[in-house]
Amino acid sequence: MQTHEVPVLIIGGGLTGLAASVFLSWHGMPSLLVDQHRGTSMHPKARAINPRATELLRSVGLEAEVSAHRSPIADNTDLVHVRTLAGEERVRLPRPQPAEIGRLSPCGWSLIDQNRLEPLLRERAEKSGGRIRYHVRAKRVTIDADGATVVLLDRETGAEETVRTRYVIAADGNRSRIGQSLGISHTGPGTLSHLVSFFFRADLSGALRGRRIIAAYVNNDRVKGTFMPLDNVHRWVFNVSYYPEKGEVPDDFTTDRCVELVRLGVGNPDLPVEIESTDRLPWEIAARSAQPMRHGPVFIAGDAAHVMPPTGAFGASTGIQDAHNLAWKIAYVLRGLAGPELLESYDAERRPIAELMVRQSMIRFQVREGRAFEEVAGEMLDELVMSFGYRYSAGAFAGAISDGSPEDPAEPTARPGSRAPHVELVRDGRRLSVLDLFGRHFVLLAGAAADWARAAGAHAADRKVPLATYLVGPGRELQDPQDRWPAAYRAGPQSAVLVRPDGFIAWRADSAQRPEAVAEALAALLHRSASQPSLAAARD
């Protein structure tokens, strides 16, 4: 049996696995991704990623490509809950306007179908050095003190091979075979609903009455499901609930039955409907999260770690954020910039966020199922809070940290554990978001009078600590023409804020510090001596 080695093995080639390959390559870390399917998704599946996930794709230069390949429904704005499409709306959940998002981020929602986004991620990963192999199944993972041995099966030829790797990212979907084989447990209610999806053609313009829907959630006595447009003209998908406990099976959805269900959902018994094919795609809505998200050298990510109802469209985005959180940490450890203890922070940080996203998606699902919005309004977090306001209460941070409760991103605390706020700045005469400074290394942002921070940055660089330092204010390299930096970062002239590669605040000081302070903070959160040399220096 052939044996070879790779630093990181990614199992699963969906959005999370492909994003992990992209992010690892961005950090100069080779990886091998294997997926049991023949290629990227042929179906739309996830239809959007949220502004925070878009920020992460922007950080690796993919935002423009994502925009260029956006979905035909990218300009649609309406998410409606109805009894029938032609009837009155039950409720519209509040959604932020683009101007609200624009004050918090240079990025908005990216409405791009999964079958459009996956090929973009694959192409970028492969161009950046990531190896990707489809129709290959990971049969068995054996863990030892130095990493893992994984037996791979080529599903085309039947040949087996062995891969030795330091770390495994298990992103193999909501029925993760890797997670199950390792005994990873889950919390949450589990399966909530069974559905069948089918594609059809029809003129729904009369029922839509000018609305440009992203999705219409139908709930009446005869049918429960979701209409979603494919081309905004005649092609649609209908996701319809069925009930195995009543003896129903996907084969019950004959062509005649599907026509009837579309008409019941639209509210027009005479609507001409063409069912596109006999294919029926069964799937389930579920809510659960893995406990824990790490098992030795194996890290559980994406749907393998957390499954949530699609209402709210946070599942794919949460998986991309898992991959981003994990990639820089693995790269730092393998490059000798951090001790292996840094990787313990992955579960400490991401598991509470997974649980939060599952809970919030559940609340939105309850509205879809018929619960009155007024009954859940007090429990439901604002969409902007879910995108930008979640915080970590433990992990790779130094000094006082947030308590982990979500914050209003319009009133950021800029405390360790929270996302570094967006501020538009000017550098060398060009406008940029402060977020554009984050990506490969730590960044120290300091007030215009904080010359101590410049000395601290030089002190850290002498010790090969991955750090770039910028002063913000008049006469400095980062100009703040709107004077937003002090309020957004709660910063005075002598303040300094240390930001991690993933854009989360790691440490802060609100008065002048001795030059060693920043290096000591970095050493603490990276689990290395402040004077310890590293294998690589920071790259700007």
Q: In what order do the strands lie in the sheet with 467-472?
A: 467-472, 442-447, 496-499, 505-509
Say whether pLDDT at 82 is over 70: yes
**pTM of the full predicted structure?**
0.95
Mean pLDDT rounded to a whole number for the chain: 94
Distances (CA, A) of 128 to 8, 19, 96, 136: 15, 12, 35, 21
Which pLDDT value is given to residue 532?
53
Which pLDDT value is given to residue 530?
53
Q: How many CA atoms lie within 13 A of 268 on its CB side?
A: 14
- Read off the pLDDT of each residue in 2-15 and give the average, rounded to a whole number: 95
Which pLDDT value is given to residue 536?
39
Say whether pLDDT at 113 is over 80: yes
With cut-offs at 50, 70 and 90, classify the pLDDT of residue 458: confident
Which DSSP helix (H) or strand (E) runs through 240? strand 235-242
260-310: pLDDT as tens digits: 999 999 999 999 999 998 788 899 999 999 999 999 999 999 999 999 999
- Read off the pLDDT of each residue in 120-129 and give the average, rounded to a whole number: 97
CA distance 119 to 217: 29
Which pLDDT value is given to residue 538?
36
Which pLDDT value is given to residue 535?
35
Read off φ and ψ for residue 292, nearest 5 degrees.
-95, -170
Which pLDDT value is given to residue 329?
98
Say whether pLDDT at 103 is over 80: yes
Which of 1, 95, 20, 44 has its CA nearest to residue 328?
20
Say whether pLDDT at 7 is over 80: yes
With cut-offs at 50, 70 and 90, classify the pLDDT of residue 463: confident
Say whether pLDDT at 188 is over 60: yes
Of the two residues 257 and 532, the one the predictor is more confident about is: 257
What does the block give as tokens for 499? 């930001």
Residue 164 has a CB neighbour count (10 Å cut-off) of 15
Question: Across the strands, what pairs with 170?
Answer: 11, 300
- Read off the pLDDT of each residue in 482-509 and give the average, rounded to a whole number: 97
Q: Are the C-beta atoms of 102 and 108 separated by less than 8 Å?
A: yes
Query: What type of residue sits at position 256?
Result: D
Q: Are the C-beta atoms of 453 and 446 separated by less than 8 Å?
A: yes
Q: Are the C-beta atoms of 71 and 132 separated by less than 8 Å?
A: no
Say whether pLDDT at 483 is over 70: yes
Q: Kindly tell me the number of DSSP H helices and DSSP E strands found in the chain.
A: 15, 23
Which pLDDT value is given to residue 338?
94
Say whether pLDDT at 540 is over 50: no
55-78: pLDDT as tens digits: 999 999 999 999 999 999 999 999
With cut-offs at 50, 70 and 90, classify the pLDDT of residue 534: very low
Return the SS3 of 357: helix
Which of 190, 267, 257, 269 has its CA nearest to residue 227?
267
Which DSSP helix (H) or strand (E) runs through 239? strand 235-242
